[in-house]
A and B are shown apart, each in its own frame.
Chain A
Amino acid sequence: MKPLLRLACLAALLPLPVLAAEPTTVDVYRELVRHRTATLGVDKAFARGTRSYVSSFLENPDSQYSALRDDPPITNEVWWYDFVDSLPIDAANKSQAALEMLQWQGGFTKARIGVDVVVDDASFVAFRNGYVAANAIKAGVDADIFWKARDLNGAMSTLAAGQAVALQLLRDQVRSHAPETHEARGIKAEVLARYLKETNPERLTESDLTYLADLLRFALSDNAFTIDAKGRRQLPAAYRVARVAAAYADSAGYFSPGGYCLGNDPRPGSPQGSDAAEYNIPLCFVAATDRAVQSWFRRKMRQEEASVHRAHHRPDESDRLVHFWFNAVLTLIDVAGFIEFAEAGLVSELSTEGVVTEEEAAVVDERATQLSCRIRP
């Protein structure tokens, strides 16, 4: 790990622009949907789908390690600067800040040490490995929560990742709101305390796990952009869970000598594109985009879900809960990358506000329904 530590220390000294200033916390994607709806109308604003959107940000949308496009077409749109000017972003280069936020929200960024994520000495020690730290830090999960969820879920790393993010959501809520308002807000600080104190997974209660599942399910299906207790932007919940699962994979080590990374890049000769996906080979996660990690997560989750069923084993309540987590919560991560669903949710809100008519909202909704039907006929 010494080369990685050197990489982290060196990167901390470099004046990299990405790490130079705190990024904006304006929900640019949400504003983009609103702006396009208002200025272009529903027909034009929602004419393109996920593939087109991804292609406009990534050089090679088929590669897990694609670089960002230098010339994203969105910044050449005639309405772009009007849109940027309308945003309450406090930055010298508002256009760049808005673009970076769209790249972040869309899952187009990576977790390269010292480039996308600062891994300081303390984090390196807390997460025991630079790659683990980079993924977990990008997911915004604290080290104590990260390890506790892993310890209580054993080989079920995707389940552990879901619980880790749910616990972190809860911790941020506990820290962000006055204790006297917790009960009215449904914030149960005691659930977090009990989980972190527990050493035996059998003693995790059904009610606490159901509560955590509720919080995560809400976060995964909500279109709202969130910030943590310190006011820092957070990734969409689906990418956070995927990144934590990637960190668990990196923490467990690999049979492949040297792992799948060489520094911040994929090891030369390691499978890429559809080859890596088909055989569910781990990626060099820090070099992969959030979307690629999410795509890997979907396969990993299915692999783990299938292993729950044991021969001659009669399902009990804990099995029911595990399947609930897989089939009712983590499965929402499947569709997190499709803009059709996110846009339908946002337009539904606009319809409630009276900004678009019910008929216009229905058009966008039908597009999502059609997609849903093709995915889950």
Chain B
Amino acid sequence: MMHRTSFHCFRLGVFALALLASAAHAGKIDIQIGFGDNVVAMLDSESTLFADAYRTAMTDKGLKFNRAGNSVLTRATQGSTVARVEYIYTQNGLEYSKYYYARSGPAMEVTFDRIAHRAPASDGSPGTGESTAYEITDDDIAKDIAEGKFYPRDTSRRTRAPNLKKVDNGVVANDAKHAGDAELKIFRKIESDIATKAVPRGGKLVGYVSKAVCSSCENAAKLLAEAYDIDGSLYQLLERGSEPPIDAMAIESQKSSSALKLRRQEYIKTHLTNRFVPLDRTARVVPDPIERLEAEEAREMTAVPCGE
């Protein structure tokens, strides 16, 4: 295994060489507006993965929260930004693609600690579990990577982008408060994959983000594109009220953003909070028994309340 310092020197060298090489042809990643059902479908799917990771982790740790704790948990899951990016490249004459998915914010363990200690966020406000005002520590990064066991196993074609070790050079946020943003995590994971030759440079990137891309991440996209000759587009959903819609596309994007919020809220409400449903990924999941469904369909009388 490569020594850590050597690895950082290697990364720095690769990044410098990449920048030199990019002088000939610099890639460009456009930040554009995304909209429509499929964007909602893809991002909702990623959101579900992250909510399920919380369910699995809570089951694993035997955690149950009171109303206040659930409120923090809901904000941490519902309020986070989610992103999915496809990186398409050609190797030996064949086209391949790899998917990266991420959510904003720190490791789940950090949220659990906040609930346990009700710690305020760094700006002095009550802890929200959201990433925007949170500076990620090395300890949090290690926790995030260790939490890989709560997500579907990474494959060569699909991987979660966790928080990665801080570096001074390369694709970095120019605002530390955005170091945990979903799209930045993905950019950094792509950079890391290029360094380890898991994917080659010079590919095409097509991605979707559930919220508007911040200027720090726009800058990181520029760095990634120029350093590794990557072209492509990152499509963002515009939140209602974030800015006045200037055209039909922006209006559609805001509608999609609202639809996604509603779906995420619904899933989290029914799977994570009020009536907590544990999820054990190690157990074989089977579809629910059919008899209860059919009994409900045949029911003529008022049903007895459930779960009281």
- Contact indicator A183/B233 (Cβ below 8 Å): yes
**Within the assembled complex, what's the spacing in Å between the Cα atoms of A335 and B290?**
11
**Within the assembled complex, what's the spacing in Å between the Cα atoms of A328 and B288?**
12
- Contact indicator B45/A373 (Cβ below 8 Å): no
**Within the assembled complex, what's the spacing in Å between the Cα atoms of A210 and B152?**
12
- Contact indicator B306/A374 (Cβ below 8 Å): yes
Select which of A51, A205, A372, A374 is within 8 A of B157 by beta carbon: A205
Does B293 reach chain A (CB closer than 8 Å)?
yes
- Contact indicator A298/B155 (Cβ below 8 Å): no
Select which of B36, B157, B285, B286 is within 8 A of A186 by beta carbon: B36
Select which of B99, B284, B292 is within 8 A of A375 by beta carbon: B292
Which B residues touch A334, using CB under 8 A?
287-288, 293
Interface mask (B122-162 → A, CB under 8 Å = 1, otherwise 0): 00000000000000000000000000000011010110000
Select which of B258, B262, B307 is within 8 A of A377 by beta carbon: B307
Interface mask (B30-52 → A, CB under 8 Å = 1, otherwise 0): 00111111111110110010000
- Known contacts A369-B275, A377-B306, A218 near B298 by CB under 8 Å: no
> A351: nearest residue on chain B (CB-CB)?
B262
- Contact indicator B235/A183 (Cβ below 8 Å): yes
Which B residues touch A50, using CB under 8 A?
296-297
Select which of B38, B98, B157, B299 is within 8 A of A173 by beta carbon: B38
Count of residues in B whose CB is under 8 Å from the partner chain: 53
Select which of A51, A210, A222 is within 8 A of B297 by beta carbon: A51
> A345: nearest residue on chain B (CB-CB)?
B266
Which B residues touch A211, using CB under 8 A?
42
Which A residues touch B307, using CB under 8 A?
370, 373, 377
- Contact indicator A206/B44 (Cβ below 8 Å): no
- Contact indicator B262/A298 (Cβ below 8 Å): no
- Contact indicator A206/B38 (Cβ below 8 Å): no
Which B residues touch A302, using CB under 8 A?
286-287, 290
- Contact indicator B290/A217 (Cβ below 8 Å): no
- Contact indicator B299/A184 (Cβ below 8 Å): no
Which B residues touch A49, using CB under 8 A?
299, 303
**Within the assembled complex, what's the spacing in Å between the Cα atoms of A173 and B40?**
14
Interface mask (B275-297 → A, CB under 8 Å = 1, otherwise 0): 10000000011111010111011
Give the 7 A-B residue pairs with the shortest CB-CB distance, closest first.
A186-B38, A218-B41, A185-B36, A373-B306, A186-B39, A214-B45, A214-B41
What are 21 sample pairs from A and B whose C-beta atoms fall under 8 A apart?
A50-B297, A51-B298, A184-B34, A184-B36, A184-B233, A185-B36, A205-B157, A206-B157, A206-B158, A207-B157, A207-B158, A218-B40, A222-B37, A277-B294, A295-B297, A302-B286, A302-B290, A309-B284, A323-B285, A373-B306, A373-B307
Residues in B lying within 8 Å of A, measured CB to CB: 32-42, 44-45, 48, 86, 97-99, 152-153, 155, 157-158, 206, 208, 233, 235, 249, 258, 262-263, 266, 270, 274-275, 284-288, 290, 292-294, 296-300, 303, 305-307
